[in-house]
């Protein structure tokens, strides 16, 4: 499902970071561990096509995304990938429902009110459906971000430090939700984090050297 | 359902004050332009409409503009009188195709009574609403507004006043009889009453009647201008003569001849109204300039609003990219936001502009009398809409390019 081979990335004026080759099967979850500055986020963004790699191949769902054009990559991202970021960047001007509908709208997929209800129900947010984003608590907002990441039924979900800003209780809750939702959707979950609390939850781990 | 419109609308709604201010500012500028445009357009149309078929106005020496304002638009006082026999001489000139006499001086409740003949009402294609045309002296026909506002009906007996004011000296003569009412023409004749030249003479010669015996001699050689008197009468006077040229040569020769060789003056409606426009144009230009300043400031304000929002919006933009939005989509979204604001502004402005004209015609009696209306839309207003589209693009182009260039990795790795 996810496979990288001899991928390298160099920031301007810095030494290139070389990433170890790896392969994940469909539905397999993986933790990217490492100190800050080790290139976790860089690798995650490379995998998600948010950053273009300069070398090597990145295959996701039988597509080498390094070969896609800019707009084809955007389209691929919308259809096959879901993202959860550290700061739950929801679109502030929109309601919870509209935030979720943005995913199929931007990916040019059919917008289904039922699917929105289903996902919100699964994450215990159905009663917040028409709430504005700024009315949500931190934990609720993080769950809405997860809901938005899975609403298009992506093949791979990328999460960048999804729990590091949360206390133990919320960390537990969010990570459990992420894992169970990903498993239900048969999606591969890739989590970049330095949060040691997640180590026990996901056994496949890749440690990036500092 | 999410679409471009709900998305753009949500962002505009998220900053209601900002959006409202920008739309209002632009709206005010557009409203001023709309009022000037519609007013000016109608004003010019009215003037063209009222001047129709009149090549030259001949009257007593004085201000040519006053002569035109008095004889064509009926908004000023006469410059004086001209002798009927001099007018007859002029009518015989080979460069003159036809003439219409006007004898002014009296009014009824502020509405001017015009002593003339049927050629004058024919010029404006006037039609009877009811009753019949005037024939004998002391018979009058009322224009549509006179009938409506001064409540003049067929069969009414009217006592005229001297001058134009409603408080002018009343003649204590035998009253005139209204024989007909005209249909509305939306031209100056709606505000006039028509009668024979002889009626105006009769009203003013009253005092002299005591001295002269009323010598009812039959007319042997009727005057070509006023057939009820003999040609060559050296006493009778009229206010002015509306002249139609026989050929284009007349436009050059006739005014020069009249101004140099006679005691009368000739004024060209085309030339004098053009002069009037250039005088009024200064005021309109100042207002127009003010409107452009308003629009420029609102454009700047819209640009700044979009540009400043970019910083807080960059996360939103990056998130949208992560959800599959292409660069060009963000570009279009940003443009659409600017266009939405300018479009709302111009629609508001057009509405306000027509609203002001509506209030003008509703409140000001003169507004409705002159036939101005708020319910006219000109193609130039479509140009305003098109212009606002362009303005929206100009205002949002730089922010849209910035949005297009957003480096999502940098923003999200933040």
Percent of chain B scoring above 70 in pLDDT: 93
CA distance A202 to B309: 40
Residue A50 has pLDDT above 70, yes or no: yes
Residues of chain B in contact with residue A110, where contact means CB-CB under 8 angstroms, are none
Which residue from A minimizes the CA distance to B328? A71
Give the pLDDT score at B210: 47
- Contact: A101, B1; criterion CB under 8 Å: yes
Confidence of residue B259 (pLDDT cuts 50, 70, 90): very high
CB contacts of B328 in chain A (<8 Å) are 71
The answer as to whether A36 is a domain residue is: yes
pLDDT surpassing 80 at residue B214 = no
Range B94-120 average pLDDT:
92
CB A75 to CB B324 under 8 A? yes
Considering the domain boundaries, does residue A189 fall inside one? yes
- CA dihedral angle for residue A105, residue A106, residue A107, residue A111, rounded to 10 degrees: -10
pLDDT of residue B211: 46
Q: Which residues of chain A lie closer than 8 angstroms to B409, CB-CB? A: 45, 50-51
DSSP helix/strand/coil, B208:
helix
Domain membership flag for residue A34: yes
A12 falls within a domain: yes
When pLDDT is averaged across residues B368-396 and rounded to a whole number, the result is 83
| Residue A54 maps to a domain | yes
Adjacent-strand bridge partners of B51 = none
Residue B213 confidence (pLDDT) above 50: no
ipTM, two decimals, is 0.93
Token pair for B67: 């002569």
The answer as to whether A165 is a domain residue is yes
Q: How many CB atoms lie within 10 A of CB B47?
A: 18
Would residue A121 count as lying in a domain? no
In terms of phi and psi (left: phi > 0; alpha: psi -120 to 50; beta: otherwise), the region of A8 is: beta
Could you tell me which of B249, B279, B254 has the C-alpha nearest to residue B268?
B254
Tell me, what DSSP letter sits at residue B191?
Answer: G
| 3 state DSSP class of B218 | coil
CA distance B146 to B194: 11
Contacts of B323 in chain A (CB under 8 A): 77-78, 83, 102-103, 106-107, 148
pLDDT digits (tens, 9 = 90+) for B2-29: 899 999 999 999 999 999 999 999 999 9
On whether any CB of chain A is under 8 Å from the CB of B2, the answer is yes
Q: What angle do CA B290, B293, B296 make, to 5 degrees?
A: 155
Looking at the 3D structure of chain A, how many domains does it have?
Answer: 1
Residue B171: the pLDDT is: 62
Q: Which has more confidence, B83 or A37? A: B83
- Chain B residues inside the 8 Å CB shell of A85: 319, 412
Chain A interface includes B321 (CB < 8 A): yes
Question: Which domain CATH number covers A170?
Answer: 3.40.50.300
Taking only the tens place, the pLDDT of each residue in B289-316 is 988 898 999 999 999 998 988 888 888 9
Q: What is the pLDDT of residue B386?
A: 92
Domain that holds residue A74: 2-92+155-207
The pLDDT of residue B103 is above 90: yes
- Which of the pair, B83 or B228, is modelled with greater confidence? B83
* B14, B16, B17, B22 alpha-carbon torsion, rounded to 10°: 100
Residue A119 inside a domain? The answer is no
Nearest one of B35, B9, B58 to B256, comparing CA atoms: B58
DSSP codes, B42-63: HHHHHHHHHHTT--EEEEESS-
Mean pLDDT for A193-197 is 87
Residue range A12-25: mean pLDDT, rounded: 88
Q: For residues A152-173, give the mean pLDDT.
A: 88
Q: How far apart are CA A163 and CA A194, in angstroms?
A: 10
CB B269 within 8 A of CB B188: no
- β partners of residue B192: B112
* pTM, to two decimals: 0.77
What mean pLDDT do residues B173-178 have? 84
Q: What is the pLDDT of residue B274?
A: 86
pLDDT, tens digit, 9 for 90 and up, residues B239-251: 999 999 999 889 9
Say yes or no for a CB contact (<8 Å) between B322 and A101.
no
Contact in structure between B258 and B132 (CB atoms under 8 Å): no
Residue ranges of A 94-113 with Cβ closer than 8 A to chain B: 94, 98, 101-103, 105-108, 111
pLDDT at B372 over 80: no
Q: Mean pLDDT score of chain A, rounded to an integer? A: 90
Which of B2-6, B144-148, B232-236 is least confident? B232-236
């Amino acid at each position: 499902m996810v496979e990288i081979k001899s991928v390298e990335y160099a920031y301007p004026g810095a030494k290139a970071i070389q990433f170890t080759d790896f392969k994940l099967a469909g539905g397999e979850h993986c933790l990217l561990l490492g100190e800050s500055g080790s290139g976790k986020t860089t690798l995650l963004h490379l995998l998600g096509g948010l950053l273009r790699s300069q070398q090597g191949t990145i295959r996701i769902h039988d597509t080498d995304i390094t070969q896609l054009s800019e707009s084809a990559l955007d389209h691929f991202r919308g259809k096959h990938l879901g993202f959860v970021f550290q700061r739950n960047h929801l679109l502030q001007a929109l309601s919870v429902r509209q935030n979720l509908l943005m995913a199929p709208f931007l990916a040019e997929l059919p917008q289904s009110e039922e699917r929105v209800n289903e996902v919100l129900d699964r994450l215990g947010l159905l009663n917040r459906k028409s709430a504005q984003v700024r009315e949500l608590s931190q934990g609720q907002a993080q769950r809405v971000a997860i809901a938005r990441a899975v609403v298009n039924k992506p093949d791979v979900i990328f999460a960048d430090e999804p729990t590091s800003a949360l206390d133990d209780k919320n960390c537990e809750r969010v990570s459990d939700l992420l894992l169970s939702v990903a498993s239900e959707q048969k999606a591969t979950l890739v989590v970049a984090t330095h949060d040691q609390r997640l180590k026990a939850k996901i056994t496949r781990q890749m440690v990036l050297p500092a | 359902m999410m679409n471009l419109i709900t998305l753009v609308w949500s962002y505009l709604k998220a900053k209601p004050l900002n959006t409202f201010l920008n739309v209002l500012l632009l709206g005010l500028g557009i409203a001023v332009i709309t009022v000037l445009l519609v007013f000016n357009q109608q004003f010019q149309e009215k003037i063209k409409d009222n001047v129709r078929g009149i090549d030259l106005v001949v009257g007593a020496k004085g201000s040519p503009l006053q002569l035109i304002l008095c004889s064509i638009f009926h908004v000023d006082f006469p410059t004086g009188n001209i002798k009927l026999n001099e007018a007859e001489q002029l009518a015989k000139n080979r460069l003159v195709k036809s003439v219409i006499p006007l004898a002014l001086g009296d009014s009824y409740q502020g509405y001017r009574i015009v002593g003339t003949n049927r050629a004058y009402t024919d010029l404006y294609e006037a039609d009877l609403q009811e009753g019949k045309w005037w024939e004998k002296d002391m018979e009058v026909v009322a224009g549509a507004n006179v009938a409506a506002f001064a409540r003049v009906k067929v069969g009414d007996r009217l006592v005229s006043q001297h001058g134009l004011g409603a408080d002018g000296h009343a003649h204590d003569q035998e009253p005139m009889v209204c024989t007909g009412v005209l249909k509305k023409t939306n031209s100056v004749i709606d505000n006039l009453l028509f009668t024979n030249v002889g009626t105006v003479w009769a009203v003013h010669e009253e005092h002299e009647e005591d001295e002269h015996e009323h010598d009812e001699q039959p007319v042997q050689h009727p005057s070509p201008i006023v057939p009820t008197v003999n040609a060559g009468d050296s006493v009778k006077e009229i206010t002015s003569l509306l002249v139609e040229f026989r050929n284009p040569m007349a436009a050059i020769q006739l005014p020069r001849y009249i101004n140099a060789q006679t005691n009368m003056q000739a004024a060209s409606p085309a030339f004098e109204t053009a002069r009037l426009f250039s005088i009024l144009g200064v005021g309109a230009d100042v207002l127009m300039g003010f409107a452009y300043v308003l629009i420029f400031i609102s454009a700047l304000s819209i640009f700044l609003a979009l540009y400043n929002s970019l910083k807080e919006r960059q996360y939103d933009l990056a998130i949208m990219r992560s959800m599959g939005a292409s660069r060009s989509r963000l570009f279009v979204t940003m443009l659409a936001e600017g266009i939405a604001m300018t479009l709302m502004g111009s629609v508001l402005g057009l509405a306000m502009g027509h609203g002001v004209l509506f209030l003008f015609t509703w409140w000001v009696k003169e507004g409705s009398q002159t036939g101005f209306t708020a319910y006219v839309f000109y193609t130039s207003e479509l140009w305003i809409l098109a212009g606002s589209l362009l303005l929206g693009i100009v205002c949002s182009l730089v922010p849209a390019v910035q949005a297009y260039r957003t480096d999502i990795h940098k923003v999200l790795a933040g």
